[in-house]
Amino acid sequence: MSRQTQILNATKSSRLTVGVGPPEPNTIPEGGLALRLLSDGAYIYGKVGVKVYRVQLESVNFTSDDNEVFAGNDLFLTSFNGGVNFNSSRSDTFFKCNEDKSISTTVLSSEENILTLNATGGVRITENGAIYVPSNNNDITNKLYVDNQTRYVEDYRICNYYENSGVPTYIPLVGYVIDRTSSSSAGEYITMIMPHDGTVERMFWRSERAMSGSMRVAIYRNGDGTEVPTTAIGRKTYSISIADDTTEEISLDPAGLDKGYEDNSFSKGEIIAISINPPAAPYDTYCTVVFKYDLNN
């Protein structure tokens, strides 16, 4: 037949399949049509009885309920029951154009990432059933990832002090040079109520005196019913060797704490105190403690 221009309007009662390459006769429904893209152009196939006929098309507009869609080389379309389904030949992309003109889409990549656009406009992304973590500047991500990134914040407490003895010192979490060598009757100087669940992450410590020997940091935590925190939950003892006026970063991760004192956590409303015992009197001392808060709690 001669080359010609055709417009195909798919209605609720029609069925159309679209793909690449000649169709198998048994894939064409009785009374239905098949649009196929071949190397020399596009063809419409129809079946009457057992015979298959085809017409070569110069151009094709595919419409269903006034929705116009386009078929690429790897897409297969099916129109029936008032809707349009698109299936990728890669077997990883699925679209559905609903009667209300909304589109439901699912994409499964080779990395098992799943992208779903549902009919209500929502978007879902998962990665192997876990949170999808973007790795490219142009990647999109999901609410769960963003929430996790913004859920936790760090709080920096400056606790500078002066001490001329080598005994354990409770640092002034209230923010002034009023450290104490004992927690007794000193709660208002050394204690902090925690506003969220969280952890004591690390400490930055620096003194005007060189240090060499055993260093110990301890975290004290108590709940309601206790005036001053006296229960040691976290403790780190290690050897320090630094010159004077040199910053020491002290990680308080549980993995590096003393056995039996491997806890750096606290809950909202609990009280915290922190002591430090350097190998010698530090004199003028700069100290910054880093807390990490869970804003969801």
pLDDT tens, residue by residue, 37-61: 666 666 777 776 677 777 776 544 4
Backbone angles phi, psi at 61, to 5 degrees: -110, 120
248 and 240 Cβ atoms separated by less than 8 Å: yes
Domain locations in the chain as residue ranges: 8-148, 152-294
Listed residue (162, 292, 176, 272) closest to 217, CA to CA = 272
Average pLDDT over the chain, rounded to an integer: 75
Per-residue pLDDT at 31: 63
What's the mean pLDDT in 130-140? 72
Per-residue pLDDT at 14: 46
> What does the DSSP assignment read for 118-165?
-TTS-EEEEETTB-----STT----HHHHHHHHHEEEEEEE--EEE-S
235 and 217 Cβ atoms separated by less than 8 Å: yes
Per-residue pLDDT at 88: 42
Per-residue pLDDT at 297: 86
Pairwise CA distance, residues 238 & 258, whole Å: 9
Helix residue ranges, H only, the chain: 143-151, 187-190
Does residue 122 have a pLDDT over 90? no
Helices (H) and strands (E) in the chain, counts: 2, 24
Does residue 287 have a pLDDT over 70? yes
272 and 173 Cβ atoms separated by less than 8 Å: yes
pLDDT tens, residue by residue, 57-101: 654 444 444 343 444 444 444 443 434 444 444 444 444 444 554
Per-residue pLDDT at 66: 38
Per-residue pLDDT at 275: 96
CATH second-level architecture of 152-294? Sandwich (2.60)
Q: Which of residues 78 and 231 earns the better pLDDT score?
A: 231
Rg (CA), the chain: 35
Tokens of 152: 């936790």
What's the mean pLDDT in 159-179? 88
Per-residue pLDDT at 55: 73
- From 131-145, 224-238, 269-283, the region with the lowest mean pLDDT: 131-145
Per-residue pLDDT at 68: 38
Q: CB count, 10 Å around CB of 149? A: 10
Strand partners of residue 42: 37, 57
Tokens of 218: 């301890």
